[in-house]
Amino acid sequence: MFNLIPREVRFFDLFDQQSQNIIKAAQLLREQFHNFADARAKAYTIKEVEHAGDLITHEIVKRLNTTFITPIDREDIHDLATRLDDVLDFIEAVAERLVVYRIKEPTSASRAMTDVIVDIVHAMDRTIKCLRTMDPAFHEHTVEVNRLENVADKLLRDSLAELFEAQADPIEVIKWKEIYETLETVTDRCEDVANVIEGIILKMA
């Protein structure tokens, strides 16, 4: 009987929308770091994108509470929505810290990390696109997400080592340590998204 009831597939559209929001936020973040003029205005634009993402998350939860038959398990939908929201939150947190900490100029290491973030959110997006059809190609995209997260890990280690060696001002060390760690956390959360999708597709296979 349940197979005769149409499943609500709008969830896939919402996941795609959220992924595009994340890509937009990541590109804005890279622009903020590579072209630091008007950093405050760019941080505000990223905040607006993050707010739009919150609305998508609320819509997913709302549909989850009102939909009888879902295309994938309810807990997986909720988990994926939460993980995607986390990616946006941390991107916004990085942009805000540049302004709050009155950073005068981003470092080359931080710029390199924003480049990795743009790459990893695109790889994550390709993983999300596999969800609708349970495309087995998800695996190669998940591997790429994992590779890029490892790149970010190495960048974090190298940038912290350089920071502690070259920076004499302890306040600057504290500021940049937190910025570097938050940048790397963005890639961790992207890996979380890819892992959730991998689990869903393997479960449904």
pLDDT per residue of the chain (205 residues) written in tens, 0 to 9: 344 334 567 899 999 999 999 999 999 999 999 998 889 999 999 999 999 999 999 999 999 988 888 889 999 999 999 999 999 999 999 999 999 999 999 999 999 999 999 999 999 999 999 999 999 999 999 999 999 999 999 999 999 999 999 888 999 999 999 999 999 999 999 999 999 999 999 998 7
* CA proximity to 106, closest of 179, 40, 167: 179
b/e per residue 66-100 (b: at least 16 CB within 10 A)? eeeeebbeeebbebbbebbbbbbbbbbbbbbbbee
Q: What pLDDT is recorded for position 168?
A: 84
The residues, any chain, with a CB within 8 Å of residue 103's CB and separated by 6 or more, are 39, 97, 175, 179
Report the CATH number that the domain containing residue 57 is assigned in CATH: 1.20.58.220
- Domain enclosing residue 84, as ranges: 2-204
**Structural domains of the chain, count:** 1
List C-alpha distances in Å: 117 to 30, 67, 143, 160, 177.
8, 34, 15, 18, 17
Neighbours of 147 (CB within 10 A): 12
- The verdict on pTM exceeding 0.85 is yes
Q: How far apart are CA 193 and CA 176, in angstroms?
A: 26
Q: How far apart are CA 18 and CA 88, in angstroms?
A: 9
Q: What pLDDT is recorded for position 37?
A: 85
